[in-house]
Structure formats: C-alpha cells, structure tokens
Amino acid sequence: MRLRSPWHPHLPPGNTPPAERLADALAGDILGEKLDAGDRLPAHRDLAWQLGIGVGSVTRAYAMLERRGLVRSVRGRGMFVASRPGGSGQMIDLSANMPPPMFGNRALARTLGRLAHTVDPALFNVYPPVAGHIEHRRIMGHWLAELGVDMPPDRLLLASGAQQALGVAVAVCRTVRTTAVTEELAYPGMLSLLRQAGLPPHGLPMDRHGLLPAPLDRMLHAHGPGHCVVYVTPTMHNPTTATMDHARRQDIVRICRAHDALIIEDDVYDCARDDQLPPLVTLAPERTFYVNSLSKTLSPGLRIGTLAPPARFMAAAREALLNSSLMIAPLSYAMMAQWMLDGTATSVRRALRGEAERRRGLALRILGPDLTPPAYDAFHAWMPMSMEQATDFVSAAAREEVRVTPLSPFVATADTCGQGGIRLCLGPATLPDLTDALHRLRHVRTEVHNSVT
C-alpha cells in the first residue's frame, strides 16, 4: 500500500497557466522546508482532481520541478522530493551566466516532431539571406515589440548570438569613431572585441543606476565631437546588476547627442516591456546600435541574436555581418519560429521571470546585506567588495567547492581603482545545489572579510 503524500495541495491565484502556478506552489514549500527529502508527492490524477485542473497540467508542473532538481521520479513508485545536496565532493558552478534549462526531452521531441511536418526544406538547401529570412526577421520584430522596441523587419539583422551582433556593431563603429567608452566594469566578450578592433575601452565610474553622466560628459568633451562610441548595458548590467532609471537613460542620451557619440546598447537581459525603463534605441534611434538575443531570456542553446543599427549604418552593418563568416544554423531558425508562433517562447519567458525572482529571493535570504538587491529579473547577482577581497574570495570559494567568476575579465581599464565585487550566476545550478552553494559562500564572505579587516 502506498503512503499518502504529506503535501497539502494548493494552487496560488493568478492568470498564468495552472502548471506554472502548481510548480511555484510546490517549489515554495520544498525550499521552505515544509516538505522533507524523500516525501512522496500526490499521484497525478489525484492531484488534478483535488485542484480541479487537467492531468496534463500536473504532468507539466512535475516536469518543471524535475528539471530544477527539486523532485525525482521513481519508475513504478511515483514522484518524490529530491534529496538535498551536501558533501557530494563535486564543484558547484556559479560562474556561467545563463538561465536554467526549461526544455526537457519531451518538449524538444514535440517541437522536432512538428518541424518534421512543417519546416520548409529551403532552409536547409540554400544559403540564407545575409540579414536572415524576412519572415524570421518579422517574427523577431514581434518579439522585440513586446519589449517596447518597435522595429520594422527590414531594420533588423539576425546574427549567430549577441556576441556576433556586438562584433558587427564594433566593426562598423571603428570605421567612423576612434575612442570607445564603457562602464568601469563591463561584459568581457565586448571588452575583447573592442581591443581587437583597435578601440581600447576607457572605463568610467558607475553607481547603482549604471554609468554616471558627469564623467561621461567630461570624457566625451575631452575627445571632441564625433570621436566616441559608448557601450552600455542599461538593464541588469553585467556584472553589477545596475539598472538605469528613466532619468539616467535620458541623461546618457542627452550627453551622447551633445557630443555626437554613437551608442552600442546591450539589451540581452531585457525580458518585459516597461515604459519606465525604455531601451535607449527608442530614445535615440539615430545613433544607437541595439543588440538583443534569445540566449538569456529563452534558451542558451538557441544562438540567435539581433542587431538594429541606425538607418544610415544599415548597409555597412550588412557588409560587416557578411564578412563575419558566421551563419545561424537552419534548425535554430526553425525552432525559433515554431516556439514564437505556437506560444512556447512567451510561456518560457514568463516562467523564467518567475524562476529568476525565486532564485533572487533565495540569494537575498541567504546572503542578506552582502548582496546588492537586483532591480530586475535575470540570473546573476552582485556581491560588492574591494578588489583585494574579490581576488581572495575566488580562491576561498574554490576551497568550498563553489566556482565563481574572477573580477579581472570585467575590468575595462587596467589601472581602475573603482568598485570591486563578485558576480554570482544563479541559473545553471539546480535549486538544491544553489541553496547549498549560497550557504557555503556566506561562510566564505565572513572569512574573507575578517582576513582583510
């Protein structure tokens, strides 16, 4: 005779699908330790009947929880709360900045099955247009419009990820600008692109709202009008999580206009329309190279980025994209179109926002005042500390079997003496492993703080 489940079923109210609300309810009770490792979960049909939802919704909710590492399925016995980690002897990696996996075997099998009957063979039999198929650009344009970026498809270039899109923007800017300006800490991939292009970045001070206007104004004035390109990440800056408020965005645009500076806007973490946080391209389309991607808000394996250059640079950007010699895999094109047209992409984006909020809350509960509260939904967090402490922290975390990213790759200018810190990537690890890692890092933070002071 099977043991009854100790869980008391409840379904939070809301407009999201029942599967997502059920997964949220169970995840909260597991992480809140209302359920113990090894506890049985209710049978699919019993739970569906008690909550008045479909059996398929229960199946999807359990699949979400299994991908997060919170439950495990035992063939012939049912679904159980997963054992909590501890002393596994394996390194927990908090250094890779990506969302958690949201597509299981069955979801991928369904998508591939549909594509087998609907995909256009021309995708695989001919080279795609340089900018991407117009239908795919139209689909991407609709996706961006949901973020508040209303861009016609003929103004979009599709690239093999955000890195290629940034590279194209840099290739164009280096022909008309001589100086690159960034935040004092910035995305390492972009810093590398700028240096390779002969535009060594000048890092400028930041605060919790991102790049400071006054130092930017002085820097652009010193170099003269028409000489600079400014690279910024206004929303969930990597690594510090700083997010520009509306006033800061207007200040940055105003200063760039006054000095005729171009802007490269990295908007890969933007996941919902917010009129209080307008992308810079909507404020200054005539000078902004806008970059977005599906890797951070949908799936890391879907390497499709997009670049919207200013109209006057469209021809040059197309040529730079052609010369980059990289092409999006046809299957990625087809999967993007399928997921966006059938609603899968919207559902996953919404689920990822909920997961980001949950993991952010977990990190704040465990690390408390040592963590800068992220102002937006993404899967990285920031622990501010001195440069010296950050160096010691990486080594101390490794001794506790937690891998974090060193600060040095983010430093734009070698002699900077500004803020330091450690970026924590909350996405790849399962929730139980993440919980365990954050507890270990709390002890590491105390150890490093005491050793320096």
| Tens-digit pLDDT profile for residues 37-59 | 778 899 999 999 999 999 999 99
Q: Residues with Cβ < 8 Å from 222, sequence gap 6 or more?
A: none
Q: What is the pLDDT of residues 2-21, one digit of tens each?
A: 567 889 899 988 888 899 88
Q: Tell me whether residue 60 is in a domain.
A: yes
Say which DSSP state 14 is in.
Answer: S
Residue 42 belongs to some domain of the structure: yes
Last residue of a domain, one of 296, 325, 341: 341
- Tell me the longest C-alpha to C-alpha distance in the chain: 81
What does the pLDDT read at residue 367? Answer: 92
Provide the residue range defining the domain that includes 373: 92-100+346-452
Nearest CA to 158 out of 123, 188, 183, 189 is that of 123
Residues of the chain above pLDDT 90, percent: 55
4 lies in some domain: no
3-class SS of residue 387: helix
State residue 331's pLDDT score: 75
Residue 129 predicted with pLDDT over 90: no
- Amino acid making up residue 316: A
- The residues, ordered by sequence, that sit 6+ positions from 154 with a Cβ below 8 Å of its Cβ are 134, 137
Q: What is the pLDDT of residue 225?
A: 96
* C-alpha to C-alpha distance for 310 and 14, rounded to whole angstroms: 40
Contact (CB, 8 A) for 362 and 353: no
Q: Is the pLDDT of residue 340 over 90?
A: no
Burial class (CB within 10 angstroms; exposed 0-12, middle 13-18, buried 19+) of 263: buried
Q: Do residues 271 and 377 touch, judged by C-beta distance below 8 A? A: yes
How does the average pLDDT of the chain come out, rounded? 88
Give the CATH number for residue 401. 3.90.1150.10
- DSSP-derived letter for residue 369 is G
pLDDT band for 118, please (50, 70, 90 cuts).
Answer: confident
Same domain, 213 and 309: yes
Residue 166 binned pLDDT confidence (cut-offs 50, 70, 90): very high
Residues 313, 436, single domain; the answer is: no
* Residues 185 and 228 occupy one common structural domain: yes
- Tell whether 334 and 353 lie within a shared domain: no
pLDDT at residue 31 is higher than 90? no
Q: Is the pLDDT of residue 333 over 50?
A: yes
- Residue range 184-212: average pLDDT? 95
Q: What is the pLDDT of residue 87?
A: 41
- Domain-located, residue 105: no
Confidence of residue 126 (pLDDT cuts 50, 70, 90): low
Predicted pLDDT of residue 3: 62
Residue 115 within any structural domain of the chain: no
pLDDT at 88 over 50: no
417 pLDDT above the threshold of 70: no
Helix (H) or strand (E) holding 73: strand 71-74
In this prediction, residue 451 carries a pLDDT of: 64
Q: CA–CA separation, 227 vs 215, rounded Å?
A: 16
How open is the CA angle 302-306-311, to the nearest 5 degrees?
Answer: 170
Residues with Cβ within 8 Å of residue 192, at least 6 apart in sequence? none
C-alpha torsion sign, points 196, 290, 131, 271: positive
Q: Please determine, for residue 1, whether its predicted confidence score (pLDDT) is greater than 50.
A: no
Kindly state the average pLDDT of the residues 180-184.
97
Q: Where are the alpha helices (DSSP H) in 208-343?
A: 213-223, 246-258, 280-283, 314-323, 330-341
The whole-number pLDDT of residue 86 equals 42
Q: Is there a domain that residue 114 lies in?
A: no
Helix (H) or strand (E) holding 206: strand 206-207
Of 320, 341, 362, which one is at a domain's C-terminal end?
A: 341
* Cα 92 from Cα 69, distance rounded (Å): 14
45 in Cβ contact with 55 (< 8 Å): yes
CA 34/CA 13 separation, integer angstroms: 20
CATH number of the structural domain spanning residue 45: 1.10.10.10
Q: Which of 33, 53, 81 is the last residue of a domain?
A: 81
- 253-286 pLDDT, tens digit per residue, is 999 999 999 999 999 999 888 989 999 999 999 9
* 205 and 322 housed in the same domain: yes
* Residues 346-367, mean pLDDT to the nearest whole number: 90
Q: What is the pLDDT of residue 125?
A: 67
How far is the C-alpha of 305 from the C-alpha of 315, rounded, in Å?
18
Assign residue 266 the CATH number of its domain: 3.40.640.10
pLDDT at 450: 67
| Residue 261 tokens, joined | 């500076």
413-427 mean pLDDT: 85
Can you give the pLDDT at residue 370? 92
Give how many domains the chain has, as a whole number. 3
Model confidence band, residue 244 (pLDDT cutoffs 50, 70, 90): very high
* Residue 52: CB atoms within 10 Å: 8
Asked if 364 and 317 sit in the same domain, the reply is no
Co-location of 330 and 367 in the same domain: no
| Residues 145, 53 share a domain | no
| Confidence band of 67 (pLDDT split at 50, 70, 90) | confident
Q: Examine the domain organization and report whether 168 and 315 are in the same domain.
A: yes
332 and 353 inside one domain = no
Higher per-residue confidence, 104 vs 405: 405
Q: Is 12 part of a structural domain of the chain?
A: no
Same domain, 244 and 364: no
**Is 168 in the same domain as 269?**
yes
Whether 108 is in a domain gets the answer: no
Whether the Cβ atoms of residue 70 and residue 81 lie closer than 8 Å to each other: yes
- Please list, in sequence order, all residues whose beta carbon lies within 8 angstroms of the beta carbon of residue 257, skipping any fewer than 6 positions away: 284, 287
Q: What pLDDT is attached to residue 83?
A: 57
Q: Residue 413: is its pLDDT beyond 70? A: yes
Q: How far apart are CA 56 and CA 345, in angstroms?
A: 19
Residue of 77 and 256 predicted with greater confidence: 256
